[in-house]
Amino acid sequence: MSPASDVPTLSPDVVRALAAGTTDWISSWWTVAAVAALAVALLALGWRASRRRAAAGRPRRRWITIASASVATVLALALAANVTAGYFPTVGALGRWTGSMLGLDEGGDDADGGAPAGEVAEVTIPVPADVSMPSSSTWIYTPPGYDASRTYPVLLLAHGSPGTSADWITAGEAPHVLDVLIDAGVIDPVIAVAFDMNGTGPGADDTECLDSTTGGSDVESYLDDVVVPWVDATYATNGTHLIAGFSAGAFCALDQGLRHPETYAGIVAIAPYLDPGSGGEAMLATAAERAAHDVRAYAPALPTADQAVALMLVDDDDGTVREHLVQTADDLRGVGRSVLLHQVDAGHTWAGAREAFPLALVDVARHLGLTPVTSTS
């Protein structure tokens, strides 16, 4: 692990601002308990009412009680799953996800504490037929006060598997995190791009950002040759690109970033895998092709590059994963990368990703000179 002195320290005000409004009743175990208690109470009341009707010689009407209790039970289970996974931290996140499913754009608002918020827009990037990618939504965050007469770095955001491009906007709360860090002067204003890494054909739901050799999508080509150039041509960018991801998206960020240092100056990988796993087996036809994307194998032989990498472990990472990441971090330092390796006390969930993301982003921004201050303490 990196020394504690290497881990960015966020001021109490920034920590409070990051936490403000990021959870509410929809992500509380108290809500789960209350709804579960309601289900039990409905069953108990129904049972008593049924007995009274039977004693009076009237027909029992259990279906109303059973239906109501069933709805409450399903709701309690859904809420429990959400609390565990952290997918909808707030009702607002659920609303944004619903809006994304309905094709509704997100607009700017005031961030917590009255600070100006960035704009979030849903766009459809034209897809060339040769990459075999489906038409999909890409979510673009522009910072507060976005001004086309100046230029900004770009942060690419890769979701996990299963997942969609909206995940970093809803479950990851990326706009809120960026609003807070930018408003506090911790990082420079950035443009963020949450792209869809789902494809077609074999491995469609777990592409790992690979170019398929089994008849599926060419996701790497789509990202590097379509998404990045389109963003640079459409928005006021300065040529500096970072890529971040969670879980399968973290492998995407790490593999794409390390093999394309000329495109990506910084990498944020939260709960990363070091090989493409079963997704690679579906996307790539041969063992040699899969080996070419094994980060552990190729890291020691990478060309030297000035690149900032933040590897964030979570509690769910077992000893073997931790050992492999420690060795990979050392290998990357040996080929010129600046590497932060840090563990957060959270699980392999979006709640864990939300906790790790600000620290990792600040570390990468600091090493790339994308911060207006030298210390966040």
DSSP codes joined into one string, 181-228: HHHTTSS---EEEEE----SSTTTT--TTPBPSSSS-BHHHHIIIIIH
Give the pLDDT score at 89.
63
Answer whether 141's CB lies under 8 Å from 191's CB: yes
Question: Residue 59 — pLDDT band, cuts 50, 70, 90?
Answer: low
Mean pLDDT of 1-14: 90
How confident is the model over 55-69, as a mean pLDDT? 64
Q: Distance between CA 70 and CA 77 in Å, rounded?
A: 11
**Predicted pLDDT of residue 359:** 97
Greater confidence, 38 or 26? 38
Q: How far is residue 194's CA from residue 190's CA, in Å, rounded to a whole number?
A: 13
CA dihedral 345→349→353→354, nearest 10 degrees, is -90
Query: For the residues 28-34, what does the mean pLDDT come to?
Result: 66
Distance CA 250, CA 264 (A): 14
Q: pLDDT, tens digit, for every residue of 99-154?
A: 555 555 444 444 554 557 999 999 999 999 999 999 999 999 999 999 999 999 99
Strands 338-343 and 308-313 come out as parallel
Phi, psi of 267 (to 5 degrees): -135, 130
Q: Which fold has domain 4-22+90-368?
A: Rossmann fold (3.40.50)
Round to whole Å and give the CA distance between 97 and 189. Answer: 24
* Reported pTM: 0.81
Q: By the 8 A CB rule, do 42 and 48 touch? A: no
From residue 305, give the alpha-carbon distance in Å to each of 91, 144, 294, 311, 367: 43, 32, 19, 17, 13
Alpha carbon 158 to its chain's center? 6
Helices (H), the chain: 12-19, 29-55, 62-85, 91-102, 174-183, 219-222, 228-234, 248-259, 277-283, 287-291, 295-298, 319-334, 350-368
pLDDT tens-digit map of 328-350: 999 999 999 999 999 998 889 99
pLDDT of residue 178: 97
Query: What is the residue whose two structure tokens read 């039990």?
Result: 40
Cα–Cα distances (Å) from 168 to 222, 280, 284, 317, in that order, read 19, 23, 27, 21
The token pair at 313 is 């472990």
Does the pLDDT of residue 251 top 50, yes or no? Answer: yes
